[in-house]
């Protein structure tokens, strides 16, 4: 079996399990092969896992390959198109080159015509028309396009209007799929207004268009035109499923650079996606170290003023994820390249893709430097962004308390690593210092649990988490901070999650954060909170069960601590003892037939106790 080069073997354990494109490279940096994958980790590993399953071409490829580059994308369809673009750009030696140069279909709107048409094409020309795409599912695209034509009644004829005008309307007019601009039944201004709606929809702004269609549906229903209302209802459903143009190809066809940024403490990564002629063709990256004490804006400004400004070739515009420091000074220095910071639309999606690649590369860097055990998921980065943390919370610990009517007060601690539970680090403890005679004191209980947990980690020289999460509101948050401050750990990032409104309280901020309900960051916090709650309630239930068993056995004359332990070891519970026979009990050390008979009679004469349900006091 061939020895895998170091540059490849170091990357194999840390490949992302996401769709993407991989590039095998030779010793001189030449791209030898470009491939796509539904799961990069599984696909790339298959090249080096075995020899016997590979074709002769693959074996020769792996003999020449000394390095590997991967690019993550949102979907398999995007990987397919990016692979196609990269093959045309690099002409890799081991790829199959298609002589017919097949391209993917676009939706074309002939806005340069007085009465525009909407049609499908595979050729993008510089003819003034608007092009949208490419699309990978041709059948679904054509079906959706038919719906668009029906909703917006776009003409399907090929007349060069208004130079050529037919003598009478075609069948589309009679079945209400066209309003007859060719015979003057629809004015030019009305037709152009309808085309504006089509363009707005294809531009990725469907909300306003769909509101108008919905309004027409309601009007038709109010006029008792239920057939038309049903058509519009079905059209709305199809419009919602209309496939959006992939962000791997820029529909505007411009040249631009897209910069992604990811940071973890003192290390940062900047990725540069190069879009040329509307196609994503290359990716570059820079690692920035020793960024301690510098803001993200300052780090991005350093990259722009240095490596990026000195680049030999820069396009007309560059997309940035946020405003760098001294932007007013940077803009003239980067001229003629325009600086844009998009907030929505396809340009924002391009930025999201660049940032995803920056995270991917930063994870590779941290893993190669032995600064991380495994790759952190996107929700971990989203959490760092939502909480404005300087360091990625690869490890977080969450605390919760549980009590049952003021008794069996316990605390739980759960540990998450890279967004996933690490159950070997779960801990539970009994609350010892809180007086329960006057009812539960959740603030004092939280203070004790947090203090004891971190004191022990310090004593045992164990690593501290990157983020501390408390189940509760401001009161629990303040109590936890008091415990941390007493141990000189007040600088640890500390937040709490309140159940009622799912508000996130960050220590040091007056107002809570309201994260979107579908936010990956909020879901990660909720998962940790729910795990801590489950663990706390489970431990509380266990404590109550043991207390009930002990109290029941203590009431029986002649059963001391030694006999009680023997009974519990043999039968597990009071019900287990109650269901045993005299002979089974008499076999135990310290028991006789007479004492076993007395024990069973006493147990059967007493009713079993029932413990009160546990309650969670972590949230206000």
Residue 620 CA to residue 141 CA, distance in Å, equals: 51
Q: String of b and e for 125-161 (b: at least 16 CB within 10 Å)?
A: eeeebbbbbbbbeeeebeebbebbbbbbbbbebeeeb
pLDDT digits (tens, 9 = 90+) for 268-317: 889 998 887 777 777 788 887 766 667 888 889 888 877 788 776 788 89
Which distant-in-sequence residues (6+ apart) come within 8 Å of 120 by Cβ? 105, 106, 107, 108, 141, 142, 145
Q: Given this model, what pLDDT does residue 138 score?
A: 66
Cα–Cα dist 115/174, whole Å: 19
CA distance 32 to 49: 19
* Predicted local distance difference test score (pLDDT) of residue 139: 65
CATH code assigned to 382-537? 3.30.420.340
pLDDT at 68: 93
Residues of the chain with CATH 3.30.420.10: 256-368
Residues of the chain with CATH 1.10.150.20: 541-605
Q: How confident is the model at residue 239, as a pLDDT?
A: 64
For the chain, residues classed under CATH 3.30.420.340 are: 382-537
Q: What's the pTM value of the predicted model, to 2 decimals?
A: 0.55
Position 245 scores a pLDDT of 46
Six-digit token string for 23: 């590039």
Looking at per-residue pLDDT, the higher value among 609 and 172 belongs to 172
Name the class of domain 256-368.
alpha beta
Structure confidence by residue, pLDDT tens digits, 345-384? 888 888 998 998 999 888 888 887 777 777 787 889 889 9
- Gap between the Cα atoms of 122 and 105, Å rounded: 5
How far is residue 202's CA from residue 136's CA, in Å, rounded to a whole number? 16
Q: Kindly indicate the confidence band of residue 387, based on its pLDDT and cuts at 50, 70 and 90.
A: very high
Q: Which CATH superfamily is domain 541-605 in?
A: 5' to 3' exonuclease, C-terminal subdomain (1.10.150.20)
- Dihedral sign, CA of 135, 138, 139, 141? positive
Query: How far is Cα of residue 40 from the mean position of the Cα atoms in its chain?
Result: 17
What CATH superfamily is the domain 6-90?
GIY-YIG endonuclease (3.40.1440.10)
pLDDT of residue 547: 60
- Name the segment(s) of the chain with CATH classification 3.40.1440.10: 6-90
């Amino acid at each position: 079996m061939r020895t895998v080069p170091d540059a490849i073997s170091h990357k194999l354990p840390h490949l992302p399990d996401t769709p993407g494109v991989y590039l095998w490279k030779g010793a001189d940096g030449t791209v030898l092969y470009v491939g796509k994958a539904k799961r990069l980790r599984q696909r790339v590993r298959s090249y080096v896992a075995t020899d016997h399953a590979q074709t002769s071409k693959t074996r020769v490829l792996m003999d020449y390959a000394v390095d590997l580059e991967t690019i993550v994308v949102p979907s398999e369809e995007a990987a397919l198109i990016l692979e196609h673009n990269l093959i045309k750009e690099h002409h890799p030696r081991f790829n199959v080159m298609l002589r017919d140069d097949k391209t993917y279909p676009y939706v074309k709107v002939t806005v340069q015509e007085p009465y525009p048409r909407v049609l499908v094409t595979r050729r993008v020309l510089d003819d003034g028309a608007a092009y949208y795409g490419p699309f990978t599912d041709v059948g679904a695209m054509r079906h959706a396009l038919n719906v668009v034509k029906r909703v917006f009644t776009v003409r399907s004829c090929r007349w060069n209007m208004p130079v050529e005008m037919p003598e009478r309307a075609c069948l589309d007019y009679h079945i209400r799929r066209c309003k007859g601009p060719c015979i003057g039944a629809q004015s030019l201004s009305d037709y152009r207004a309808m085309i504006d709606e089509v363009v707005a929809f294809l531009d990725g702004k469907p909300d306003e268009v769909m509101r108008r269609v919905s309004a027409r549906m309601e009007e038709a229903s109010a006029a008792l035109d239920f057939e038309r209302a049903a058509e519009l209802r079905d059209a709305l459903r199809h419009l919602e499923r209309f496939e959006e143009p992939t962000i791997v190809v820029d529909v505007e066809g411009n040249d631009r650079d897209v910069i992604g940024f990811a940071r973890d403490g003192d290390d940062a990564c900047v990725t540069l996606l190069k879009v040329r002629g509307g196609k994503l063709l290359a990716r570059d990256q820079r690692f920035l170290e020793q960024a301690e004490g510098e803001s993200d804006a300052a780090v991005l400004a350093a990259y722009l003023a240095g490596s990026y400004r000195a680049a030999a070739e820069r396009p007309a515009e560059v997309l940035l994820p946020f405003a760098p420091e001294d932007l007013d000074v940077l803009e003239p220095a980067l001229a003629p390249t325009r600086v844009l910071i998009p907030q929505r639309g396809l340009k924002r999606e391009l930025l999201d893709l660049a940032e995803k690649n920056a995270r991917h590369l930063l994870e590779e860097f941290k893993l190669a430097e032995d600064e991380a055990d495994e790759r952190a998921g996107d929700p971990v980065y989203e959490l760092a962004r939502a909480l404005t943390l300087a360091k990625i919370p690869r490890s977080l610990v969450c605390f919760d308390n549980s009590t049952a009517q003021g008794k069996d007060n316990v605390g739980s601690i759960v540990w998450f690593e890279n967004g996933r539970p690490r159950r070997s680090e779960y801990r539970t403890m009994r609350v010892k210092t809180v007086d329960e005679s006057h009812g539960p004191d959740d603030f004092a209980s939280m203070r004790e649990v947090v203090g004891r947990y971190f004191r022990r980690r310090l004593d045992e020289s164990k690593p501290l988490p990157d983020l501390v999460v408390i189940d509760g509101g401001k009161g629990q948050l303040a109590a936890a901070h008091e415990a941390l401050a007493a141990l000189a750990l007040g600088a640890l990032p500390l937040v709490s999650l309140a159940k009622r409104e799912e508000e996130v309280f960050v220590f040091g901020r007056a107002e809570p954060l309201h994260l979107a309900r579908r936010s990956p960051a909020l879901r990660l916090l909720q998962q940790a909170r729910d795990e801590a709650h489950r663990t706390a309630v489970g431990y509380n239930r266990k404590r109550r069960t043991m207390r009930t068993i002990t109290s029941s056995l203590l009431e029986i004359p002649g059963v001391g601590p030694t006999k009680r332990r023997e009974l519990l070891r043999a039968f597990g519970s009071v019900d287990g003892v109650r269901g045993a026979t005299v002979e089974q009990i008499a076999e135990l050390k310290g028991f006789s037939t007479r004492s076993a008979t007395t024990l069973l009679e006493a147990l059967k004469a007493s009713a079993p106790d029932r413990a009160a349900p546990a309650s969670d006091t972590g949230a206000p």
